[in-house]
Structure 1
Amino acid sequence: MAYTYSHPHRVRYRECDPMGVVYHTHYLDYFEAARTEALRHVGVRYRDLEAHGIIMPVVHVEVDYHGPAHYDDPLVVEACFEQMPTARVPIDYTVRREEEEEVLVTGHTTLCFTDAEARRPTHPPDAVREAFAPLLD
Structure 2
Amino acid sequence: MHHFPVRVYYEDTDMAGIVYYANYLRYIERARSDWVREIGIDQNAMRDEGLVFAVRRVEADYIAPAKFDDELQVETSVEQVTAARLVLKQVVKRDEQPLFQAVVTIVCIADTGAPARLPANIRLLVH
TM-score (norm 2): 0.92
**Residue deviations 1:14-69, cap 9 Å, x none?**
00000000000001111111111111111013222111110122111121111110
Going by fraction, where is strand more abundant, 1 or 2? 2
Number of residue pairs the alignment of both structures matches: 127
Unaligned runs of 5+ in 2: none
CA RMSD of superposed structures (Å): 1.3
Superposed, 1:8-87 pairs within 5 Å as 8-87=5-84
Query: Does 71-80 or 47-56 show the bigger shift?
Result: 47-56
Asked whether the equivalents of residues 36 and 46 of structure 1 are also in contact (C-alpha less than 8 Å), the reply is no
Deviation at 1:85, TM superposition (A): 4.8
Alpha-carbon distance between aligned partners in 2 of 1:44 and 1:62, rounded to the nearest angstrom: 24
Superposed, 1:89-128 pairs within 5 Å as 89-97=86-94, 100-117=95-112, 119-128=113-122
Alpha-carbon distance between aligned partners in 1 of 2:60 and 2:79, rounded to the nearest angstrom: 18
Q: Which amino acid aligns with 1:17?
A: D
Deviation at 1:81, TM superposition (A): 0.9
TM-score (norm 1): 0.86
Identity percentage of aligned residues = 32
Asked whether the equivalents of residues 91 and 108 of structure 1 are also in contact (C-alpha less than 8 Å), the reply is yes
Alpha-carbon distance between aligned partners in 1 of 2:116 and 2:15, rounded to the nearest angstrom: 43
Unaligned runs of 5+ in 1: none
Alpha-carbon distance between aligned partners in 1 of 2:98 and 2:15, rounded to the nearest angstrom: 23
